Amino acid sequence: MIKNLLVKLRAARKSAQPPLNTPFFEKHTKHRNLMPLYDLWPIHGKAFISPSASIIGEVKIGPECGIYNGVVIRGDINSVTILDSTYICPNTVIHTAASLPTGTTAEVNIGLNCLIGSRCTLYSCTIDDFVHVGAGSVILEGARLEKGCMIGPGSVVPPGRLIPSKQLWAGNPVRYVKDLYEPEEINFGDTLALEMFNAEKYLMQFEEFGHAHMYDS
């Protein structure tokens, strides 16, 4: 009798279920920082792309770039091109419109040796070489930042606005502040050199022998 009761209890007992937040129940099982969209594949040279960044669709990233934590680059509507030695700081979003009312290209093009600060939004704009965009800035569709200019932190560049070369603009909407001279350019060059050093250091962690062994006990 006891044996029959144990058999019935085993039959009635449900197997333990894993918690609902386990990968078995998730629709998307893991984060992919390089995600193709149809036949559009992100392409990058020897660049550091943080594991928490999301690069989607038609995106081209040149060598020696740094794409840091939480950055989202969406090449799902039009393409995004980032040339060599440009650094996109954490939590910046880069995306594109389908078209612009002016008839100009709705792509995002970022030149050589640029620094885009944290928490910025870049939307279908063109940024020439050696441009520094301050943290928290918004660059809207059709805007163009010419070579060597600087945008102050928290600024908004309206649609279609042209920022001339080697000038500092800031505010919401941006206004002219001053011309930039050699000391500011030297300081910006030092900042870029530091970012390049950091990007190379981070990239080494993904090679066959990283730095973790240095701290083994």
Q: How far apart are CA 174 and CA 182, in angstroms?
A: 23
Q: Does residue 192 sit in helix, strand or coil?
A: helix
Task: Say what the pLDDT of residue 68 is.
Answer: 92
Task: Say what the pLDDT of residue 6 is.
Answer: 61
Task: Say what the pLDDT of residue 8 is.
Answer: 65
Task: Say what the pLDDT of residue 217 is.
Answer: 47
> What residues contact residue 196 under an 8 Å CB cut-off, 6+ apart?
64, 66, 85, 87
Task: Say what the pLDDT of residue 7 is.
Answer: 63
Q: What is the pLDDT along the chain (217 residues), one digit of tens a residue?
A: 666 766 665 665 555 555 555 555 555 556 678 888 888 888 887 888 998 899 999 999 999 899 999 999 999 999 999 999 999 999 999 999 988 887 778 999 999 999 999 999 999 999 999 999 999 999 999 999 999 999 999 999 999 999 999 999 999 999 999 999 887 878 888 888 888 888 888 888 776 665 555 555 4
User: 162-163 and 72-82: which strand pairing?
Assistant: unpaired
What residues does each domain of the chain span?
28-208
With 0.95 as the threshold, say if the pTM is over it: no
Residue pair 96/80 in contact (Cβ under 8 Å)? The answer is: yes
Task: Say what the pLDDT of residue 22 is.
Answer: 52
Count CB-CB contacts under 10 A for residue 112.
Answer: 17
Dihedrals phi, psi of 65, to nearest 5 degrees: -90, 165
Fold of 28-208: UDP N-Acetylglucosamine Acyltransferase; domain 1 (2.160.10)
Contacts for 35-39: CB closer than 8 Å, 24+ residues apart: 37/75, 37/76
Amino acid identity of residue 15, one-letter, is S
